[in-house]
Structure 1
Amino acid sequence: MVVLLTAEQAAQRLQLRVSWLRRKAAARAIPCRYVGKHLRFTHDDLLAIADQAESGPNVPRTTRGRVP
């Protein structure tokens, strides 16, 4: 049986703001489910969101249109 979490429950477990989670879900930038109009998350969704947030190597930003 799959347990579905509300945005509030998912945000609490991920230690994120609910508004951030809802905004990313609406933009389809993170895995989520819509049951009717209700936003829900599975345990696998939370793991995928955490994996997406993992930071890679620290690479310096490039300047826009400027040659160093």
Structure 2
Amino acid sequence: MRTDQHSLSKGSTFDGPHQPNATPDDEAAPPAKPAPLLYTPAAAAGRLTIGESWLRRKAGQRLIPCTFVGKHLRFTEDDLRAIVAAGRRGPSNRDQSTRPGHRRRSRR
């Protein structure tokens, strides 16, 4: 593509490199910020929408995956995914009226 004075004088304008699939929204959107390599306990708790104290306690007991950089507790994206996967529960098929500690009332 020629961008010299001669090619511009024919009524065409030069708007930069041609991007066939670009839309006006693509140009206006800021570049995506990459996810951090490691999350602090506060940032990880925020992403999981749980309490930081719960996260620190479970990590200290080594009950959830975590990473220590020296003495500093951190969480990777994989750690957060594993925490969510470990907490996932399927549907319960148990009859709710026979929960432990609850008696079923009999009708007389």
| TM-score, length of structure 1 as denominator length | 0.80
Relative contact order: is structure 1 or structure 2 higher (C-alpha 8 Å, sep ≥ 6)?
1
1:16 is aligned, of 50, 55, 73, to 50
- C-alpha distance after superposition, 1:45-68 (max 9, x if no partner): 0000000010134265667xxxxx
Which structure 1 residue ranges, 4+ long, deviate > 6 Å from structure 2?
none
Cα root mean square deviation, aligned: 1.8
| Aligned residue number for residue 77 of structure 2 | 43
CA distance in 1 between counterparts of 2:71 and 2:53 reads 16
CA distance in 2 between counterparts of 1:59 and 1:9 reads 36
- 1:49-68 to structure 2, matched below 5 A, reads 49-58=83-92
Q: Report SS of the residue matched to 2:81.
A: helix
Equivalences, count: 62
Give the share of equivalent positions with the same residue, in percent.
Answer: 53
| Aligned residue number for residue 34 of structure 1 | 68
CA distance in 2 between counterparts of 1:33 and 1:59 reads 37
Q: Report SS of the residue matched to 1:55.
A: coil
Specify every segment of 5 or more residues in structure 1 that has no aligned partner in the other structure, as ranges: 64-68
| TM-score, length of structure 2 as denominator length | 0.52
Which of the pair has more CA radius of gyration? Answer: 2
CA distance in 2 between counterparts of 1:8 and 1:21 reads 9
